[in-house]
A and B are shown apart, each in its own frame.
Chain A
Amino acid sequence: MTLSVVFAILFYAATLLLVVGVARKIAVYARTPAPLKIPVTPAPLTRAGVVWRMTKEVTVFRSLFFSNKWIWLFGWMFHVALALVLARHLRYFTEPVWGWVVLIQPFGKYAAFAMITGLAGLWARRFLVDRVRYISSPSDHLMLALLMAIALSGLGIKYLSHTDIIDIKAYMLGLMYFDWQPLPADGFVLLHFTLIIILMVVFPISKLLHAPGMFFAPTRTQVDNAREVRHTAGWTADSTAK
Chain B
Amino acid sequence: MAKVTFDTPELKPHQETPDLPSVKPGTMQHLKTFPAKPIHNENIGYPGELVEDWQNKAVKRLGELVDGSQALRVFLDTCVKCGACTDKCHYFLGTEDPLNMPVARQDLLRSVYRRYYTFAGKHFPKLVGAKDFDKPMLDDWYNYFHQCSQCRRCSVFCPYGIDTAEISMAAREIMDSIGVGQKYCNEILAKVHVIGNNLGLPEPALVNTLEGLEEDVEEDTGVLVRFPVDQKGADVLLITPSADFFAEPHIDGLIGYGKVFHQAGISWTLSSHASEAANFSMFIGSSDNLKKTAMRIREAALELGVKRIIVGECGHAWRVAYSFWNTLIGPFDFLDPKYPAPQHIVEFTYDLIQRGALKLDKEANDHRRITFHDSCNVARASRMGNIPGGQFILPREVIKAAANHFFDMAPDTIHEKTFCCGGGGGLLTDDLMELRVKGAMPRMQALKQVVDENDVNTLVAICAICKTQFAKTLPYYQFQGDMITSLHEVVGDAIQLGTKN
Interface size on B, residues (CB 8 A): 76
Q: Which of B23, B127, B291, B387 contacts A142 (CB 8 A)?
A: B127
In the complex, are the beta carbons of B84 and A42 less than 8 A apart?
no
Q: Judge whether B77 is part of the interface by a CB distance below 8 angstroms.
A: yes
Binds A, one of B39-47, B68-76, B470-478: B68-76
Most chain B beta carbons < 10 A, residue from A32, A33, A140, A234: A32
In the complex, are the beta carbons of B383 and A224 less than 8 A apart?
yes
Q: Judge whether A94 is part of the interface by a CB distance below 8 angstroms.
A: no
Closest Cβ of chain B to A38, distance in Å, is 6
A231 to B326: give the CA distance in the assembly, Å: 7
Interface size on A, residues (CB 8 A): 65
Closest Cβ of chain A to B168, distance in Å, is 13
A63 to B331: give the CA distance in the assembly, Å: 34
Q: Judge whether A64 is part of the interface by a CB distance below 8 angstroms.
A: yes
Inside 8 A of B77's CB, which chain A residues have their CB?
Answer: 25, 207, 209-210, 213
A39 to B201: give the CA distance in the assembly, Å: 34
Inside 8 A of B380's CB, which chain A residues have their CB?
Answer: 40-41
List B60-92 residues whose CB lies under 8 Å from chain A: 66-71, 73-75, 77-88
A42 to B394: give the CA distance in the assembly, Å: 13
List A75-100 residues whose CB lies under 8 Å from chain B: 75
Closest Cβ of chain B to A46, distance in Å, is 10
A125 to B389: give the CA distance in the assembly, Å: 34
Known: A205-B119, A227-B340, A231-B327. A33 touches B388 (CB 8 A): no
Closest Cβ of chain A to B145, distance in Å, is 17
Q: Which of B101, B124, B156, B287 contacts A134 (CB 8 A)?
A: B101
Please report the number of residue pairs spanning A and B whose Cβ atoms sit closer than 8 angstroms.
221
Encoded as 1 (CB less than 8 Å from any A CB) or 0, chain B from 325 to 352 comes to 0111111000000001110000000000
List B282-310 residues whose CB lies under 8 Å from chain A: 287, 291, 295, 298
List B387-435 residues whose CB lies under 8 Å from chain A: 387-389, 391-392, 416
Inside 8 A of B367's CB, which chain A residues have their CB?
Answer: none
Encoded as 1 (CB less than 8 Å from any A CB) or 0, chain B from 124 to 165 comes to 101111000000000000000000000010011111111100
Closest-by-CB residue of B relative to A239 is: B328
In the complex, are the beta carbons of A232 and B81 less than 8 A apart?
no
Closest Cβ of chain B to A49, distance in Å, is 8
In the complex, are the beta carbons of B104 and A226 less than 8 A apart?
no
Inside 8 A of B59's CB, which chain A residues have their CB?
Answer: none
In the complex, are the beta carbons of B78 and A217 less than 8 A apart?
yes
A140 to B82: give the CA distance in the assembly, Å: 9
Inside 8 A of B379's CB, which chain A residues have their CB?
Answer: 41
Closest-by-CB residue of A relative to B24 is: A130
Q: Which of A207, A213, A241 contacts B81 (CB 8 A)?
A: A207
Closest Cβ of chain B to A113, distance in Å, is 22
Closest-by-CB residue of A relative to B162 is: A217
A224 to B381: give the CA distance in the assembly, Å: 10
Q: Judge whether A236 is part of the interface by a CB distance below 8 angstroms.
A: yes
In the complex, are the beta carbons of B84 and A218 less than 8 A apart?
no
In the complex, are the beta carbons of A234 and B68 less than 8 A apart?
yes
Q: Which of B68, B80, B98, B120 contacts A32 (CB 8 A)?
A: B68
Interchain residue pairs with CB less than 8 A apart (28): A29-B70, A32-B74, A34-B70, A41-B391, A42-B383, A44-B388, A63-B157, A63-B158, A66-B157, A131-B101, A132-B82, A139-B129, A140-B80, A140-B81, A205-B119, A207-B80, A207-B81, A213-B160, A214-B160, A217-B161, A217-B162, A226-B324, A227-B341, A234-B69, A236-B291, A239-B329, A241-B295, A241-B331
Known A-B contacts: A131-B98, A213-B78. Give 11 more (CB < 8 A): A41-B416, A68-B87, A75-B82, A75-B159, A131-B87, A137-B127, A217-B71, A226-B326, A227-B326, A241-B329, A241-B330
